[in-house]
């Protein structure tokens, strides 16, 4: 195994709760996603047709979303698996936003609303988010204030409690394996085999390095854009200077300015 550090850990110290390692393992691995979804959704015959990691669902007007593991399921269904160490990243409103964005992006133009697929958003959390001691928490449908009527709106949000430590069920074994560093100590043979191969795979190591570089570049750009917005709103610094200081193209600064209602009346050459 490599001794190279990723987020302060070597590969042999990582588990599926380490998102960069998990993303590298899931990329292109339909069988791994299928096994995990079959257990969490309790659907042993479930078939995954495709898997994509770090899938961006763009929103031109407002907030976009990046999905950790996006899976298309046979039978008009889609799932997003999110690895969440921080409680603040697993808020129910975030889950609601993700399900809404997924539905917007999978319903073809002109299709009937009855054609909306089943959408599953699964948060695998390091700790017990709701504190009830259960291995899994499921929110499905909406409750109507008439006879306690439950209406299925096609959305299911699931929280998997990563702190659950009873391994009698398949779900309990899966939870154990997500936090297990050593493949030989894992309880589900298929997952043990996949993780063992991943930890000795040069390809997985290269994917992790690439993902971390992309992540670092995105964070730098996000910081530059945030600073540029503040400087544009300050209103006393030429846009060319802002672009040069933040290492952003002038076109990007003008785009930000337009969003903020600060697009210059002067020609581009004079800003």
pLDDT tens-place string over residues 69-127: 999 999 999 999 999 988 888 999 999 999 999 998 888 888 888 888 999 999 999 99
pLDDT surpassing 90 at residue 11? no
Question: What is the arrangement of strands in the sheet containing 65-73, beginning at the earlier edge strand?
Answer: 48-57, 65-73, 77-84, 118-125, 149-161, 136-144
Cα distances (angstroms) measured from residue 120 to each of 40, 113, 178: 11, 17, 19
d(CA 156, CA 140): 5
d(CA 152, CA 138): 13
CB 103 within 8 A of CB 126: no
Orientation of helix 189-199 relative to helix 170-178, angle to 10°: 10
- Report the relative pairing of strands 136-144 and 65-73 from DSSP bridges: unpaired
Q: Which of 2-6, 36-40, 61-65 has the lowest mean pLDDT?
A: 2-6
Taking only the tens place, the pLDDT of each residue in 156-188 is 999 999 999 999 999 999 999 999 999 999 999
């Amino acid at each position: 195994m490599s001794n190279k550090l990723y987020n302060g850990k070597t590969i042999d110290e990582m588990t599926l709760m380490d998102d960069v390692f998990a993303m590298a393992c899931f990329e292109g691995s339909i069988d791994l996603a299928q096994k995990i979804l079959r257990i969490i959704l309790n659907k042993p015959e479930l078939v995954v047709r495709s898997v994509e990691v770090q899938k961006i669902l763009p929103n031109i007007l407002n907030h976009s979303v990046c999905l950790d593991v996006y899976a298309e399921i046979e039978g008009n269904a889609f799932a997003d698996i999110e690895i969440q160490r921080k409680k603040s990243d697993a808020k129910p409103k975030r889950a609601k936003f993700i399900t809404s964005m997924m539905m917007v992006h999978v319903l073809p133009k002109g299709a009937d609303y009855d054609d909306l697929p089943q959408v599953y958003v699964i948060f695998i959390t390091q700790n017990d988010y709701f504190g009830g001691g259960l291995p899994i928490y499921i929110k499905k449908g909406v409750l109507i204030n008439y006879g306690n009527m439950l209406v299925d709106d096609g959305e299911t949000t699931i929280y998997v409690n990563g702190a659950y430590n009873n391994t009698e069920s398949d779900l309990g074994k899966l939870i154990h394996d997500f936090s297990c560093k050593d493949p030989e100590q894992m309880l589900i043979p298929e997952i043990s085999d996949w993780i063992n191969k991943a930890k000795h795979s040069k390809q997985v190591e290269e994917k992790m390095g690439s993902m971390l570089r992309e992540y670092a570049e995105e964070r730098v750009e996000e910081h530059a854009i945030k600073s540029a917005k503040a400087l544009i709103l300050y209103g006393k610094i030429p846009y060319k200077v802002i672009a040069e200081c933040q290492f952003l193209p002038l076109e990007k600064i003008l785009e930000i300015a337009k969003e903020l209602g600060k697009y210059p009346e002067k020609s581009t050459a004079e800003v």
